[in-house]
Structure 1
Amino acid sequence: MKLTIVGAGSVRYALQLVGDLAKTEELSKKGPVVSLMDINEERLKATEILARRYMEELEVPVKIEATTSLEAAVEGADYVINTALAYPRPEGADGFAAYEKVVEISERHGYYRGIDAQEFNFVSTYTYVFCSYYDLTLALNVARTMEKYAPEGWILQTGNPVFEITQLLTRETPVKTVGFCHGHGGVHEVCEQLGLPYEEVDWQVAGVNHGIWLNRLRHRGEDAYPLLDRWIEEKGPSWESRSPWDVQMSPAVMDMYRFYGMLPIGDTCRNGSWKYNYDLATKKRWYGRFGGIDNEVERPKFHEQLREGKRKMLELAAEVAADPSIRLTERWPRLFSRERRSGEQQIPFVQALECGTPQRLVLNMPNRGVIEGIPDDVVVELPARVDGEGLHPERIEPDLTPRIKKMYLWPRILRMEWALEAYLSRDIRVFEEILVRDPRTRSFEQVQAVLRDIWALPFHEELRQNFPMGGTT
């Protein structure tokens, strides 16, 4: 078996996936090949060094390869995990710097938190200039390469925007594609807050990526939603956020629950309406004292944390390369654990298909009638049983509320369709029309000005070539 990780220069995340594979004995004992791929040679080398040492310490026959060639990485692969973030890179900076610059320009033109902060899509860096041209292009290139070099393989789409990319690939390529996200992990927090042992809870979520809802919550056969209602009354007023990411039990979530009739899970509450996002003060009211992670204070901090994390991984790799006596599992056991797995779903998915070991996973795949009222070809996120025979989505019971479908899912699906329309048509007028409908827009001249300034950024040459400003009216 060959498993490829595209975007392995992320270092930490790639190492988590490799670690999960190594600690899954059914897979690791088969001597699988892991091909690490990235265009950043320095970070790729760091991942390779650390992955090889990690496998040596775990004493598993997992072969590690590394390459900057997508063709070499993909050739003969059974599974390709695409984790890459394909933002353009300003000279001497990273992709996050490009995103921050776009936000800065947008705000000068009256678009708080950037033109990509949109109703039902407020998660920072989920999209880049509406259609995420760079991410979609990379993913499509991976799929086209697989058509030639690994036609029977699976793409495990992990990098954002998962909804738009998975949708594009399922429509435009024959390659088997499934999308991954860990947002459903919010169910653990709900159970903990309600005092329910997670193992005893019968739960189900359904919706679209970053837009899933807890349609079923039962404990020992009884509906557990009354316990949530009691928590809101008794503990909701005293709830406090412990970090910018701690929003699962926030006032925004409970407000959305009261309006839509089911509890939003994971990142869903970050993708609500402008009601929760007008400004930093509004965000703090609804998401707690940090205002969540999607604001002008916490998001830049997070980007710097990611940068610092990568720097530390590079330093660690250099140290390991110079000293064969270093034991990663002893000095950094939290990252290089001997037994604990990351909780990510990609390796359990591979295990289910390769070994026939059934797994219940929450996946992104075409609806095909599972959620009533949603087109069959639209990619949805829902639980599925995965085994040696394939993917078997669960019946959604009870159904999502009509209000969730009509006032949340349908508008979010339209935004996905607009993004793909822009990407496939290469017509800048689609971007203009999206902004014309933005409540922050006061004139068409404002729309033209913000796009002109964003397009003029020196690292946006590819955008200018593919979406010429001459297409404006």
Structure 2
Amino acid sequence: MSVQVDDFPATRGNLPNHCNNVSSHDNGQSSAGGASPSDEGAFRGQVPVSRAMIWRNSRKDWNQPMARNINITVIGAGSATFSLGLVKDLCLTENLKGSHVTFVDIDAQRLGNITGLAERYSRELGADLRFTQTTDRQAALTGADFIINTADVKGHHHARRVRELTESLGYYYYTPSALGHFYNFRLMLDIARDIERICPDAWLIQSGNPVFDGTTLMNRHTNAKIIGLCHGHYGYLEMANVLGLDPSRITWEAPGVNHAIWLTTFMYDGEDAYPILDKWIEEHGPTYWDTHVATRTHDIQMSRGVIDMYRMHGLMPIGDTPRLVGWWYHTALATQKHWFGQPWGGPDTEIARPVHVSVLSERLAQVDAAIKDPSVQVTSVFGQTRTREQQVPIIDALANGVAGCFQVNMPNTGGIVAGIEHDVVVESQAWIDRGGVHPMRPARPLPASVMREEVMPKVSEMERGLEAFLTGDRRLLLLDILAERKTTSYDQAKTLLETVLAMPGHEEVAAHYR
């Protein structure tokens, strides 16, 4: 069901630069003069959204900022890197004073560590927040206003074991996605159904992968209010850094589906900035590709491979998108080093992933050390600067009216991204305030080549995986492996499927897919 355009509230104040193609409002009047929020053009490119995407509020002063105490539940809180950043953002957000945060995880030790650290961090800052912990997810949902799900049921070490198995069968760095998502699909659906039953007015902010597949699944099969988040869109900041541009003067849009977003709008001081990129490629690109040594495994935004994708389609792929585009970039370690640079060849190689996991392990060790030493000032260890993550600002917008523009994953109701079915979740910008989530149609549609070659194949893969999960049809898992370009024969695919299903710990998966 869709809402009428006059259900959308006015916005207040100035929009961030990356949203300045939308009219700002003050007291219901357009800054251009005369247009009210009920007018067709109150938001440029505004489209209706599903009723599930609107948080109904009996008050009419949607955008009068006001602080209130809220209950936030964090599922998968044992993830140290994410939870630490979340704690910092919560403690440094004045409007959330007096709020209650419940951490949920199945790992009691990690859960206790992050809760203890959060309490100390909050005390040092004088933040009026209360933290509790539990392993009982349903109890944690009682009274919740917001739920952040960052849980990964099996984790990095399980994924490594699957990759080692696929490598033994002739695959280079490959995990069957449809098969691998089973546990997270089940958890996501269980959480969304629990929310329907226990706290139906709460917002679920899905922050763990697979965001695209999982948010589509939950939106189709529950009435929970769901926002999916990823941080890949910040790839535009990496571009700005290399190009020497001031990010505050950049206007950008990067629509698509999660892990397949493309920079359709890239402007600097109101002018097309793609010529700046073209000049850099011509004058500095070859030297950069030959000399740049990444200090992070995910530092690939200006790599030779990404620029090759840009030349192919006429738009820059952003964030995680290059990791999933073009099988020919990902055939071997030497190939990946050529396309994505030294020393790791991007994040998806046998030498990069251990580095990434070790960084996470070091963060856990840092938490353990801090929690064991009460003399340590945790604010000095972990800093007092907000992260770039969107979870807390979105909560502040929905709960307190501190409105803003955000890159979110939401149902394509009304055709936010042209050419994709309305019940598929897309990633694009939305204006968020106490009235809800208001999608904004991108100024420029994705070109045919990007839709045909990159976006729609990802949609098809998602649909196959969801159908396999919902029906338990093992044939769809086989088709998923056969569709992988690293597969060389039917027998290889069939052997891989049966071998992965027979892995210790996969008994439930094998029983589900018949």
What's the TM-score, normalizing by structure 2? 0.83
- 1:397 maps to a residue whose letter is A
Are 1:131 and 1:420, in contact at CA under 8 Å, matched by a contact in 2?
no
| 1:15-50 Cα shifts (integer Å, max 9, x gaps) | 21122011111222xx11000000100000001110
Aligned length: 439
Distance 1:266 1:301 in 2: 19
Are 1:55 and 1:62, in contact at CA under 8 Å, matched by a contact in 2?
yes
Are 1:241 and 1:247, in contact at CA under 8 Å, matched by a contact in 2?
no
Distance 1:459 1:307 in 2: 23
Displacement, 1:85?
0.8
Distance 2:337 2:225 in 1: 42
Aligned residue in 2 for 1:357: 402
Displacement, 1:310?
1.7
Match of 2:379, SS?
A: helix
Are 1:35 and 1:64, in contact at CA under 8 Å, matched by a contact in 2?
yes
Match of 1:35, SS?
A: strand
State which drifts further: 370-379 or 229-238. Answer: 370-379
Displacement, 1:232?
0.5
State which drifts further: 72-81 or 456-465. Answer: 456-465
Distance 1:250 1:16 in 2: 28
Distance 2:80 2:180 in 1: 27
Are 1:252 and 1:276, in contact at CA under 8 Å, matched by a contact in 2?
yes
State which drifts further: 448-457 or 257-266. Answer: 448-457
Match of 1:169 among 215, 218, 222: 218
Query: How do 1:311-350 residues align onto structure 2 when only pairs under 5 Å count?
Result: 311-319=365-373, 323=374, 325-330=375-380, 332=381, 335=382, 337-338=383-384, 340-350=385-395
Aligned residue in 2 for 1:16: 85
Distance 2:99 2:140 in 1: 14
Query: Relative contact order: is structure 1 or structure 2 higher (C-alpha 8 Å, sep ≥ 6)?
Result: 2
1:452 lines up with 2:498 in the alignment: yes
Match of 2:78, SS?
A: helix
The RMSD of aligned alpha carbons is 1.4
Aligned residue in 2 for 1:51: 118
Query: How do 1:49-88 residues align onto structure 2 when only pairs under 5 Å count?
Result: 49-87=116-154
Are 1:245 and 1:292, in contact at CA under 8 Å, matched by a contact in 2?
yes
Aligned residue in 2 for 1:37: 104
Aligned residue in 2 for 1:242: 294
Displacement, 1:133?
0.5
Match of 1:441, SS?
A: coil
- 2:442 maps to a residue whose letter is I
Aligned residue in 1 for 2:13: none
1:412 lines up with 2:458 in the alignment: yes
Q: Which runs of 4+ in 1 moved over 3 A?
A: none
Identity among equivalent positions (%) equals 39
Runs of 5+ consecutive residues of structure 2 not aligned to the other structure: 1-69
Query: How do 1:74-473 residues align onto structure 2 when only pairs under 5 Å count?
Result: 74-87=141-154, 95-116=155-176, 127=177, 130=179, 132-239=181-288, 240-243=292-295, 244-289=297-342, 290-319=344-373, 323=374, 325-330=375-380, 332=381, 335=382, 337-338=383-384, 340-368=385-413, 369-467=415-513, 471=514
CA separation of 1:442 and 1:204: change in aligned 2, threshold 3 A:
closer
Displacement, 1:173?
0.6
- 1:64 maps to a residue whose letter is F
Are 1:35 and 1:67, in contact at CA under 8 Å, matched by a contact in 2?
yes
Match of 1:27 among 66, 91, 96: 96
- 1:96 maps to a residue whose letter is H
Displacement, 1:131?
5.1
Are 1:131 and 1:419, in contact at CA under 8 Å, matched by a contact in 2?
no
CA separation of 1:78 and 1:99: change in aligned 2, threshold 3 A:
same
- 2:350 maps to a residue whose letter is E
Match of 1:292, SS?
A: coil
Aligned residue in 1 for 2:9: none
Are 1:280 and 1:295, in contact at CA under 8 Å, matched by a contact in 2?
yes
Distance 2:243 2:362 in 1: 36
| 1:101-160 Cα shifts (integer Å, max 9, x gaps) | 1111111112211243xxxxxxxxxx4x54500111111111111112111111100011
Distance 1:77 1:462 in 2: 31
